[in-house]
Amino acid sequence: MNDRMLVHKVYHRLSLLCLTPHTLPFKPVQFPSALSPAHVRARPLNGTVRSLRTTAVMATSRLRNLVPVNAVASEDGSGGASNGSVSSTAATTALEDEEDSTLGVRYRLPPQEIKDIVDAPPLPALSFSPHRDKILFLKRRSLPPLAELAKPEEKLAGVRIDGKCNTRTRMSFYTGIGIHQLLPDGTLGPEIEVHGFPDGAKINFVTWSPDGRHLAFTIRFDEEESTSSKLKVWVAQVETGIARPLFKSDEIFLNAVFDNFVWVNDSSLLVCTIPLSRGDPPKKPWVPFGPKIQSNEQKSIIQVRTFQDLLKDEYDEDLFDYYATTQLVLASLDGTVKEIGPPAVYTSMDPSPDHKYLLISSIHRPYSFIVPCGRFPKKVDLWTADGKLIRELCDLPLAEDIPIAINSVRRGMRSINWRADKPSTLYWVETQDEGDAKVDVSPRDIIYTQPAEPLEGEGPMILHKLDLRYGGISWSDDSLALVYESWYKTRRTRTWVISPGSNDVSPRILFDRSSEDVYSDPGSPMLRRTPAGTYVLAKVKKENEEGTYLLLNGNGATPEGNIPFLDLFDINTGNKERIWKSDKEKYYETVVALMSDEKEGDLPIDHLKILTSKESKTENTQYYILSWPEKKAFQITNFPHPYPQLASLQKEMVKYQRKDGVQLTATLYLPPGYDSSRDGPLPCLVWSYPGEFKSKEAAGQVRGSPNEFAGIGPTSALLWLARRFAILSGPTIPIIGEGDDEANDRYVEQLVASAEAAVEEVVRRGVAHPDKIAVGGHSYGAFMTANLLAHAPHLFSCGIARSGAYNRTLTPFGFQNEDRTLWEATSTYVKMSPFMSADKIKKPILLIHGEEDSNPGTLTMQSDRFFNALKGHGALCRLVILPYESHGYASRESIMHVLWETDRWLQKYCVSHTSTVNVDPDASKDNSGTVSKDSESKAIAASGGSGSEVSNTEHEGFDSLPRSLLW
């Protein structure tokens, strides 16, 4: 499914109800700040001590926060005119806004033009039937309320569990299912709505039966009764849309902590259920049994990254077992139910293609307090379809000691799967380097294969040996399979052609290239669905021609941008024939799926049918069926434009060069109707995320297309087009380490050089005022933002850093793609950490972080400590901690408040910021980007219109001396 079809849109209901203890769905005593607004800590701009009155109000606020009350959000946000200026009304309420935000009194709403975009209704997700004759429209809601995130959750072994639902927490869901027949002319038949379940049901895990005649899904409700919120499995007839519960008993509920359910055949499902014998959850002892002790008296070398939500004690172990233990149940559509296997912590279940066997994975004790459950002891068994144990395939020990080097893996059997082209044949991989990527050995990985029930004395057969790390297999038949391997350090990737059923046919390399070299990417082979429900290589045949042809679906990266393609590829000769490509002049089109895959055997080229997507800079994505030999396209969707107020935005892919010669690119967005000659330079927001490369050539390659539709998510920087900002989106920030050099050893130098080049480009074009450029980013982009304000203060007026990490000594065993430890690369860790340069940050910085961030590298503590460091050096800074939010923000209240905070920051420290510029009054703006007196006046007028007063002096907290232009 195309990612754009799954873009998370927004919550369209405006009401933010005042919740009292009597209306809360949980006991307030358990959650003293359940719905309290964002906690904001701000340094007073004048540096003075707060008044006694303010202190008293703060104390009252703390008492008030003991009761989870959510005040109604302010509708006016920061106020301001539509051109992005700060109105005089907003200025008069600035002190009130500052006090309210500092005290954490309420959530805020952004300006109306931003709120309208975020509150637009979301588009449905699509799902096609196995026979490609029907399509589901899975209807979605907008952003969830904070009350959903505030529900209790258990943080155990690296997962977060909703104990009431017995699922992972914070699951999104569908609100309805519509079924459409896909007619021969490409149009859709009338909608059949799946019905029969109560209104208000939350729908998850929608799955087609293998024959396409039924749907299986789960429903749940947000009721107080303990059973109503648990997930029940339902099935629906596709022809009628009539739905009913799968189980006749009201006592059988889904356990979806790990797996959920799977179709075993056309009429039965294997379901993970909560054991009927399970009682109440274990109770935490008032007095601990003893101290918490960890020991390494064996002097083992165990290096792990900063994983979060780990088990802490025996009680956590018991609680994890309680929620994760599953009873597998085999259920038929006729109502027959049979428990199979003993209760255990099952993590996956995979039927064989012939439906005779089950591949069952589980984890068991001893558990760990330093690694998540993915590294717990793992057992893989082979069962018959009715639950009888045939044999144990492996029982892997606890894996606390996997090296941190990228490409390191667990020892023993891994990636155990069924061959997609066989009824019941297994394959797996075993490392030959003890899982340590730093060990130089040949071969590094070996692929084995074996029938489900081998003959007596028959051992596994070696299928292929690899010198790089195994990356997967695409199966066809005994004559053909493609094997993938790669190695991160060198960016090398190889594709092998093997004949699984012929020992006398030597493997050969089909592609051997750099994974960074997108221009040489030949594309990925398309797969077709088999009658058994598996996916194999789609082989195509030409009439009256011999040869084995595959379909290669590629992005088509070029110096002008991506031009996606579909090639007919002769795997024996290597010859290619381009049978389709995107319209590069106006549209961006991609091949989404193969639609003519319902039959066995090679697919005649004249019967080819594919699903494509089509979009442009201003036209949102629609889907088409394209059929051969006419290559006639039928449009099957007609989704409305998600934000018509920005339909005429201006978009351009720009290219420029870093001072060391590296080619850089970015996407420049300008507001609808903007004319640089008439309107002058705008305030500009630069939003990016660094990347690592091994070569300058690869770093300089163009990625993306100038014709792609501008997708705007609920926290996208593009929202500020509605506030008349120029947006430089995704300027490439390559951190290059050629040969044996490590990229991060020159991180700061390359980061600053990339930012300088980007700023110079937008100023040279006359679209950005040099004194009104802000920088921002999320996660590693926040890390980038803080470093730029520390090491390139001349470039930006302010910064927005969301959910970042700022002190790399707090992630001592690697971060991002850095796999050296703090003790191996001390100077790099220190130099890269903006925390160590807090004394250099003089420009305003807004820090935002989710209070429940689960990302291993970005503990909430990172923002807290960085803010304290900044405040300790008198920096102009603000910290917003979002209750109940994780690494990405989900609730409507939080997202709207983040937008309000960001808009307030940009209006105050970017739009309203000017500096005295020493220029020649007779000079004109030339190609160097120097701004003349007239141009500067025009810029000030453009950014400070609607009666706003714009000062020519520095904002308090900025550099004390006037800033001169560098260009």
Active site residues: 779, 853, 887
Give dist(CA 484, CA 717) in Å, integer.
37
For the beta carbon of residue 3, count every other beta carbon within 10 angstroms.
Answer: 7
Among residues 681, 673, 669, the alpha carbon closest in space to that of 940 is found at 681
Report which DSSP code applies to 655: E
Sheet strands (E) in 752-856 = 768-778, 798-802, 845-850
Report which DSSP code applies to 268: E
Amino acid letter for position 555: N
CB 129 within 8 A of CB 135: yes
Amino acid letter for position 304: V
SS3 61: helix
Q: According to DSSP H, which parts of 152-287 are helical?
A: none
- Tokens matching residue 133: 């004759």
> CB-based contacts of 153: which residues, under 8 Å, 6+ apart?
160, 161, 162, 163, 169
CB 462 within 8 A of CB 471: no
Give dist(CA 4, CA 778) in Å, integer.
20
Give dist(CA 757, CA 776) in Å, integer.
16
HSE-up of 4 (CA within 13 Å, CB side)? 19
> CB-based contacts of 606: which residues, under 8 Å, 6+ apart?
543, 628, 629
In whole angstroms, what separates CA 932 from the centre of its chain?
44
Residues in the chain: 967
CB 650 within 8 A of CB 703: no
- Phi, then psi, of 491 in degrees rounded to 5: 60, 25
Give dist(CA 755, CA 761) in Å, integer.
10
Q: In the beta sheet, which residues pair with residue 187?
A: none
> CB-based contacts of 366: which residues, under 8 Å, 6+ apart?
377, 398
Give dist(CA 160, CA 581) in Å, integer.
44
CB 255 within 8 A of CB 168: no
In whole angstroms, what separates CA 170 from the centre of its chain?
15
CB 540 within 8 A of CB 549: yes
List the Cα angle 585/587/593 in 5-degree steps: 130
- Tokens matching residue 618: 């201003």
- Phi, then psi, of 167 in degrees rounded to 5: -135, 180
Q: Which helix (H) or strand (E) holds 592?
A: strand 588-594
3-state helix, strand, coil in the chain (%, to 5): 20, 30, 50
CB 903 within 8 A of CB 77: yes
Give dist(CA 608, CA 597) in Å, integer.
9
699-736: string of b/e by CB count within 10 Å (b at 16+)? Answer: bbbbebbbbbbbebbbbbbbbbbbbbbbbbbbbbbbbb
Give dist(CA 935, CA 760) in Å, integer.
16
- Tokens matching residue 116: 């309208």
Among residues 238, 2, 7, 134, the alpha carbon closest in space to that of 595 is found at 134
Q: Which helix (H) or strand (E) holds 298?
A: none
